[in-house]
Structure 1
């Protein structure tokens, strides 16, 4: 699984539409939820994919926010794939000058091997996602801009989902090998707390500490409510929820006293799923994409588009695949972000 999930709180800013802060650029770090086309190359591009949603239907949440400030659609800082050449998934890595969307599907907070990375073997080796971790994304940006921020950037940090997936898989593997279930679960939750604390430290040291003045941190959505999690036993869903909450608690606590915007995507998705009509959501349980092998060879929204969605009107579905948002889900997140920007006085 190459990223994580969905939206944030609904609602939107309805105040004066003239921005009160005019950023010179939008800079973003994270995973598939802010990936702007890292893997839109080779066979992925040929299949009409490139982002983790229903491709070609509507703008991403990040592009929507950029447009509010009159800025161009964010472009991926890096593109390429390290998978099987025979299937068109081996494409040389290219760094795109002037592009500051660093998020990559599969990226974790610190560990460089995330979902879809060839080092995990199996189907991961077919696609070969780059999964550059957030800490390295932050360092790469500083290297590209001379070591510090100008103070005019609008910076987004949004990560943690892939740490859930890897830590959950580790717990399951440990139990399958005869390990103690309680100890394995405790280790998984502890690892998530460490990842949250590390991300907070990176934001303070490598973003705010390097001169960024306008920083937005989006917490980890509630992965326990995704179709992926709902297919698992209730006890496993409970473990995922504990992982999410521990990560978010450590991230928020570690950022205490830092002047930034906090977007509570976890509570947002909970409210969306509990009250779909409030958000004009038609379906909050099923993927909009047809993930059957005949229609979607990767079983992922990465190669989903209007030509391989399920039958019927999916324009107000929440989930594109089992963890990622539809364009409408992206719109809901952009509304949640814009509301918090307005509350801060930046929009």
Structure 2
């Protein structure tokens, strides 16, 4: 019982912080289906989807623990899917985890092509929620960095091919990790900016490796303006400003570094901030009743329930990783709220961003 509580506590401590990375899972697609027949999928072409990134693209790395103990299992309004799963369906594929584990369970290789993991940074293996520097100790989140996720794919499969859509995101946790150090007085803002710029440059190197390894359709998503999520809107002006500034630093560096090595024209680039801003500005016309000022998951009630069960840190349970229909603020909130928690998108928000992503991909002449 003590071990189970320790595992639960570790999981929720991770989830509370890692939620911030999944506000960036804003590219989902509607419809589609499996690839077990020869019919043309909604996207107009059959593609196998391979994804790398953080919690925005995590299709269930921690679900065996989270779902079994709390319900939920992904960083959204469960059972809604994260965007890469929906994109896969749109192109006639099904996306499942490439690895599961963490929080007391050793990592286990799975058959899926969803390599993204909640808490992961671009190159540093000690991501948000990673409880130890000992790689053999799995008390925390796995947080395999994006660079290693790609290496693991290449080791297992050799190369990419023209029948795949490779989706890459990253950097949000690098922004948040370094801002946490600034807030704690352990890093200057100048040093944090430098570290975030380096993370963006490193991500360009990862993208280059993917292209050099045979990928011809690579969708790259940048980081949204974190300051405009509920996490930023409900914070003080200084914190909100820092979230926006450092998000912009990462994106500007990413864009510039891609252009500097002539890769911008070789990828499908999804510029998230203006698309999110447009949705936020027109939220009511798009069917939402609450924009970036509230959460679909009843975070207060989730924390109170955890307290009744004697959890030492009940507030840690107030995250979308454990959100289910039973814990929504109101019935149907997965469709009427933009955000599941303070940063993660709801099912409806995923779907709206999907339309932008699909149009961006179609603009290259791929599918429809």
- Normalised by the length of structure 2, the TM-score is 0.81
Distance 1:126 1:19, change over 3 A: closer
Instruction: Tell me what 1:294 maps to.
Output: 304
Instruction: Tell me what 2:108 maps to.
Output: 94
CA deviation digits over 1:245-301, x for unaligned, max 9?
111111112222321111111211122222212432221111111123134652211
Instruction: Tell me what 1:188 maps to.
Output: 192
1:62-141 residue pairs with structure 2 within 5 A? 62-72=84-94, 74-81=95-102, 83=103, 90-97=104-111, 99-119=112-132, 128-141=140-153
Contact 1:35–1:51 under 8 Å retained in 2: yes
- 1:10 Cα shift? 10
1:4 aligned to which of 1, 22, 38: 22
2:229 aligned to which of 218, 226, 229: 226
Aligned residues: 321
Unpaired segments ≥5 residues, structure 2:
1-16, 31-39, 307-313
Moved more, 296-305 or 153-162: 296-305
1:153 aligned to which of 164, 186, 198: 164
Question: Counterparts of 1:261 and 1:151 in 2: how far apart (Å)?
Answer: 14
Unpaired segments ≥5 residues, structure 1:
84-89
Question: Counterparts of 2:272 and 2:327 in 1: how far apart (Å)?
Answer: 28
Q: Secondary structure at the match of 2:132?
A: helix
Contact 1:54–1:305 under 8 Å retained in 2: yes
- Higher RCO, 1 vs 2 (CA within 8 Å, ≥6 residues apart): 1
1:1-347 residue pairs with structure 2 within 5 A? 1-2=17-18, 3-6=21-24, 8=26, 19=43, 21-23=45-47, 25-56=48-79, 58-72=80-94, 74-81=95-102, 83=103, 90-97=104-111, 99-119=112-132, 128-146=140-158, 148-174=159-185, 184-204=188-208, 206-256=209-259, 257-258=262-263, 259-284=266-291, 285-292=293-300, 293-295=303-305, 298-314=317-333, 315-347=335-367
Distance 1:152 1:17, change over 3 A: closer
- Normalised by the length of structure 1, the TM-score is 0.86
Q: Secondary structure at the match of 2:184?
A: helix
- 1:45 Cα shift? 2.7
Cα RMSD after superposing both structures: 2.5
Q: Secondary structure at the match of 1:167?
A: helix
Question: Counterparts of 2:246 and 2:201 in 1: how far apart (Å)?
Answer: 13
Contact 2:338–2:345 under 8 Å retained in 1: yes
Distance 1:53 1:250, change over 3 A: same
Instruction: Tell me what 2:310 maps to.
Output: none
* Runs of 4+ residues deviating >6 angstroms: 9-12
Q: Secondary structure at the match of 2:101?
A: strand
| Greater share of residues in helix | 2
Contact 2:74–2:81 under 8 Å retained in 1: no
- 1:340 Cα shift? 0.5
Q: Secondary structure at the match of 1:344?
A: coil
- 1:240 Cα shift? 1.5
Q: Secondary structure at the match of 2:232?
A: helix
Contact 2:120–2:127 under 8 Å retained in 1: yes
- 1:44 Cα shift? 4.0
